[in-house]
Amino acid sequence: MNESLHAMDTWWQAVLSGFVRTDPPTVPALLLLGIVAAAVVLSIPRATWRWFGLYVTFVHELGHAFAALMTSRFIHGLKIGLDHSGQLVSSGRRGFSATWSGFWGYPAPAVVGVALVWSVSAGWAGAAASIGALVLLVALIFLRNFTGIVVALVSAAIAQSLVMFADPATVSYLILALGIALGVGSVRDFFKVAAVHTRRRNQLANSDAYILAQSTHVPSFIWLTGFAVVIAGSAALSGWLLWGLLDV
């Protein structure tokens, strides 16, 4: 019992230690290129995307969940499929709250990505790691299928290890790589959903843009444009922040 309490206290102190601002790193060009390359390797090749894409889907669904909670909706459960499908079930008032929740799926990884890049540029990479570790643990409450629980547990274990064992420089570089990878993953998923509306229309029922169009009578291309604007804006801001970190 005492050992368990000691381990819990050690973990909590490690989480709290992340909320100490450090000097933002100055990243040499070659190292930044390596970080970007690592992010691309995570999110482009099929072999790695098969697994990292599950995490991007997780963030996608958490985007829906967070937006739902912002408008006082009740979350019943969240599921993630091995085929990168996801489902969030929530209830509440119709109208704005349902639309708000429905929109913040595809843009969520890009927004989280730019937030992670910003945290590094502002000296709060440790806080980003600590907050991420806590969010992933809380998310377990909402998961309702085996794949989702495994994705959350693996993600949480990595986040907890980062918080407890990595030095500040390593945390900054890994958070930077994750932020870039989420941004790239968001772009990849956007092109995937756009293709559903052009070439694979038999899958329309699974598209957030189509579902939003059905519930609001606003055409799908408007919602797709909204996704694209947020994702492109996040990418542009990430690029600007990365330029600020570059040691030139």
Of 4-18, 114-128, 130-144, 190-204, the one with minimum mean pLDDT is: 4-18
Report residue 1's pLDDT band, with 50, 70 and 90 as the boundaries: low
Q: What is the pLDDT of residues 132-182, one digit of tens each?
A: 989 988 999 999 999 999 998 899 888 888 888 889 899 999 999 999 999
Q: Is the pLDDT of residue 200 over 90?
A: no
The pLDDT mean for the chain works out to 92
Residue recorded with tokens 């050690």: 10
Whole-model pTM: value is 0.94
Q: Are 207 and 196 in contact (CB under 8 A)?
A: yes
Report residue 113's pLDDT band, with 50, 70 and 90 as the boundaries: very high
What residues are paired with 28 via a beta bridge? 247
**Pairing state between β 86-91 and 27-28:** unpaired
Q: Is the pLDDT of residue 2 over 80?
A: no
Report residue 248's pLDDT band, with 50, 70 and 90 as the boundaries: low
Report residue 10's pLDDT band, with 50, 70 and 90 as the boundaries: confident
Task: Tell me the domain boundaries of the chain.
Answer: 41-247
- Between CA 162 and CA 167, with CA 163 as vertex, the angle to 5 degrees is 75
Q: Report the percent of the chain where pLDDT is more than 90.
A: 73
Q: Are 140 and 156 in contact (CB under 8 A)?
A: yes
The alpha-carbon radius of gyration of the chain (Å, integer) is 19
What residues are paired with 143 via a beta bridge? 78
Displacement of CA 138 from its chain's centroid (Å): 15
Tell me which of 248 and 208 has the higher pLDDT.
Answer: 208
- Contacts of 113 by beta carbon, 8 Å cutoff, 6+ apart: 178, 179, 180, 181, 182, 183, 185, 186, 234, 238
What residues are paired with 75 via a beta bridge? 90
Angle between helical axes of 96-103 and 208-216 (0-180°, round to 10): 160
Report residue 213's pLDDT band, with 50, 70 and 90 as the boundaries: very high
Q: Is the pLDDT of residue 186 over 80?
A: yes
Most confident listed range (48-62, 123-137, 154-168): 48-62
